[in-house]
Structure 1
């Protein structure tokens, strides 16, 4: 049975030591086909600042750059100086774990090497060239001008997580889900070629491909969620630093949070996602070994990208989604520390981006009866409803 919004707020405000860890796109930012058209709510930005160190983002998007969330904050405030002066930037961890910033946008990128950053800077150009060649063959009848517009939207030139986002291209062929599936294979082919290219540059273990949404991991690779007549499935593939996964990022945020309160980094000052343990059990063990119960905050995790699909051939469940890992870890840490951690799911499906959504007790495509991950609360109507709930929560601080 899910809790009400008021019950979850009561649970949070009755604790002095709390940390809210929240995804961004689909949670407080409505999903859109063109990432450059994303928008943040001005009141939400100010409400976040009221929680100060009690709030952190954990996102596969980025803070800085023309596509960064910092630009959305500045647009919401209609100013390039107010956020820095008042600490209105969204603090926390971006690029799935390698871009850390505080409320005043002071940032660092723990664990990254210069040669990796230099290679990442070249990736968008390579993406554009490969995608141009593929679309000329796959969509031969569209004009050069229209093809270039599709490519402009698809190639996301972010600094640490260059991404192919095919939402706009899928929408162009949306009535033909077989074409969408073929485009997914093109997207995967391009990104695998980039991965091979990085290895040819001596960066053998530097990068991996993050599929959004995905169906979990098999043989060390994320599983593509192919298009069906009901939804597009995987729409984005990010080229990401190895080790940059959200559950490792959660521990980096905990390390920083506790150091701010106590002056001591429980995992050491140089801890980052690359030297973090690789499994949930090992991550929990590290916490139990290094963080005393009186220092572990009540954790509240908020996300929207969680998947669960039954595999017909062996009657098993494929479970994935970029938020599943850190939400599950928050739940496991609650069990390990015997505290009432909260896991909140936001329905992010809308008329621009088709995704499964929870309807009452029907969790098809998101969870299943055997799923270990259990949600405490469901935000049914997406970011707009979540922002209203967050406003209510922030008024207590």
Structure 2
């Protein structure tokens, strides 16, 4: 049974020691086909600042750069300086765990090496060249002008998580699911070629591919969610630093949160996502060994990318999604520390990005009755409804 919005707010405000850990795109930022056209709500940005250290983002997007969320904040405020002066940037971890900033956009990059940063800088140009070759063969009737426009949208030149985003290309062929699947194979082929290039650069264990959404792992690799008549499945593949997963990022955020309150970092000053334990059970064990119950905050996890699909071949459930790991960890930490941690799911499907959406009675595509992950609250109408709920919560601070 799901809680009401008011019940979740009451649970949060009754606990003085709490931390909201929230994804961004699809939660407080509506999903769009072209990521450069994203917008963030000004009032939401101001409401976040009221919570100060009790709020942190945990996103596979990025803070800085022309595609960074910091640019969205500045656009919302119609100012290049106001966010810096008043601490209105969104604090927390980006790039799935390797780009940290505070409310004033003071940035650092825990766990990154210079040769990895240098290789990442080359990736968007290589992506563009490969994608141009593939689209020329796969969609030969495209004009050069339209092909270039689609490629401009598809190649996301972020600094630490260069990404192929095929939403716009999928939309071009949206009535032909066979072509959408063919494009997904092209997307995967390009990104696997990039992984091979990194090996030739001497970075064999530096990177992995993060598929959004995905169907979990097989032999350490994320499983592609192929398109169906109901949703496009995997639309984005990110080229990411190995170890940069949100569940490890959650512990880095806890390290920072507790340090702000006590002056002591329970996992040490050099803790980062790369030297963090690799399984949820080991992450919980580390928390139990290093964080006393009176220092562990009530955790509220908010996400939109969770998947669950029945594989008829093996008669088993394939469960994935970039938010599943950290939401599951928050739930299990609540169980371990006997705290009422809250898991909030936001329906992010809209007319631009087709995804499964759930109701109180239909969990198809997102969860299932045997799923360990349980949601406390569902935000049915996407970011707009979530922002209204967040405003209601922030009015208490």
| Other-structure match for 2:79 | 79
Alignment pair present for 1:343 and 2:338: no
| Other-structure match for 2:259 | 259
| Other-structure match for 2:14 | 14
Deviations 1:74-121 (A, max 9, x none): 000000000000000000000000000000000000000000000000
| Other-structure match for 1:374 | 374
Q: Distance in 2 between matches of 1:98 and 1:275?
A: 12
Contact 2:216/2:222 (CA < 8 Å) preserved in 1?
Answer: yes
Alpha-carbon distance, 1:64 to partner: 0.1
Alignment pair present for 1:173 and 2:170: no
| Other-structure match for 2:203 | 203
Alpha-carbon distance, 1:230 to partner: 1.1
Alignment pair present for 1:139 and 2:139: yes
The 3-state SS of whatever aligns with 2:260 is helix
| Other-structure match for 2:117 | 117
Deviations 1:312-346 (A, max 9, x none): 01110000000000000000000000000000000
Alignment pair present for 1:5 and 2:30: no
| Other-structure match for 2:63 | 63
| Other-structure match for 2:106 | 106
Pairs aligned (count): 397
Moved over 6 A (4+): none
Alpha-carbon distance, 1:247 to partner: 0.1
Deviations 1:164-212 (A, max 9, x none): 0000000000000000000000000000000000001100000000000
Q: Distance in 2 between matches of 1:41 and 1:161?
A: 24
Q: Distance in 2 between matches of 1:310 and 1:247?
A: 24
Alpha-carbon distance, 1:290 to partner: 0.1
Q: Distance in 2 between matches of 1:65 and 1:201?
A: 25
| Other-structure match for 2:389 | 389
| Other-structure match for 2:27 | 27
Deviations 1:343-395 (A, max 9, x none): 00000000000000012310000000100000000000000000000000000
Mapping for residues 261-340 of structure 1, pairs under 5 Å: 261-340=261-340
Contact 2:359/2:378 (CA < 8 Å) preserved in 1?
Answer: no
- Structure 2 gap ranges (5+): none
- TM-score normalised by the chain length of structure 1: 1.00
- Structure 1 gap ranges (5+): none
The 3-state SS of whatever aligns with 1:203 is coil
The 3-state SS of whatever aligns with 1:210 is strand
The 3-state SS of whatever aligns with 2:261 is helix
| Other-structure match for 1:361 | 361
Alpha-carbon distance, 1:67 to partner: 0.2
Alpha-carbon distance, 1:229 to partner: 1.0
The 3-state SS of whatever aligns with 1:83 is helix
Q: Distance in 2 between matches of 1:157 and 1:118?
A: 13
- TM-score normalised by the chain length of structure 2: 1.00
Q: Distance in 2 between matches of 1:135 and 1:377?
A: 42
The 3-state SS of whatever aligns with 1:336 is helix
The 3-state SS of whatever aligns with 1:386 is helix
The 3-state SS of whatever aligns with 2:270 is coil
Q: Distance in 2 between matches of 1:203 and 1:75?
A: 37
Deviations 1:13-51 (A, max 9, x none): 000100000000000000000000000000000000000
The 3-state SS of whatever aligns with 1:44 is helix
| Other-structure match for 1:93 | 93
Contact 2:2/2:360 (CA < 8 Å) preserved in 1?
Answer: no
Q: Distance in 2 between matches of 1:162 and 1:47?
A: 30
| Other-structure match for 2:239 | 239
| Other-structure match for 2:221 | 221
